[in-house]
Amino acid sequence: MLKQEANRLGFDFCGVAPAQRAPHADFYVQWLAAGRSGDMTYLQRNVEKRLNPALLAEPVDPAFKSVIVLAVNYHRFELPTRSAQTQAGA
């Protein structure tokens, strides 16, 4: 039901992941330290929350156990109508 609704809304991917420290956390920290984020300075903000999405819950107790992950393929030429209108300020 969740995936069907995400698809109806124009998302290309919908999944559920555990809200825990990411298995690639150490790599991400090293990647940032090496300056790999370039001009994407927003990736350097809230690093601990990026590494562990359970910290997004405020207050932290009780923390949530899962996160819904949604994605849109931005390489396609036409965005879903609703997304295009939102970006255009409609």
Q: Cβ(67)–Cβ(16) under 8 Å? A: yes
DSSP SS3 for 2 = helix
pTM of the full predicted structure? 0.64
Cβ burial, residue 68 (10 Å; 0-12/13-18/19+)? exposed
pLDDT tens string for the chain (90 positions)?
Answer: 999 999 999 999 999 999 999 999 999 999 999 999 999 999 999 999 999 988 888 776 777 889 999 999 887 666 666 655 555 555
Q: Where are the domains of the chain?
A: 1-19+65-90, 22-64
